[in-house]
């Protein structure tokens, strides 16, 4: 479940006790961290998209449904 096909190494330091607990519980840090990073990237991309859409809201509110329909019809007629 990766976004990309090329990989790079990212490292972090954790307390030794935490690493030992992960080992006892058979937690694979690479898989866990990869998923956490992918989830955070998706969350932030969605957040950024939402902010951009909210920025367009004032402009979109000025366009009526009738204008959109007319524009679509005009575009189809040109083809």
1-54 pLDDT per residue, tens: 455 678 899 999 999 999 999 999 999 999 999 999 999 999 999 999 999 999
Task: Note whether residue 45 is domain-resident.
Answer: yes
Q: Exposed (0-12), middle (13-18) or buried (19+): which is 22, by Cβ within 10 Å? A: middle
Mean pLDDT value of segment 67-77: 89
| DSSP label of 63 | S
As for how many domains the chain has, the answer is 1
Task: Note whether residue 1 is domain-resident.
Answer: no
Task: Note whether residue 53 is domain-resident.
Answer: yes
Residue with tokens 């690493």: 19
Q: How many CB atoms neighbour CB 31 within 10 A?
A: 10
* pTM of the complete model: 0.64
Question: Among positive and negative, which fits the CA dihedral 35, 40, 41, 45?
Answer: positive
Task: Note whether residue 54 is domain-resident.
Answer: yes
Q: Which residue segment(s) compose the domain that 21 sits in?
A: 16-78
């Amino acid at each position: 479940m990766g976004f990309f096909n090329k990989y790079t190494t990212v490292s972090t330091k954790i307390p030794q006790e935490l690493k030992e607990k992960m080992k006892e519980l058979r937690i694979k840090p690479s898989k866990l961290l990869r998923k956490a990073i992918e989830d955070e990237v998706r969350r932030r991309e969605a957040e950024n998209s939402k902010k951009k859409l909210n920025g367009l809201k004032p402009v979109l509110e000025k366009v009526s449904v009738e204008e959109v329909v007319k524009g679509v019809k005009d575009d189809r007629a040109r083809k």
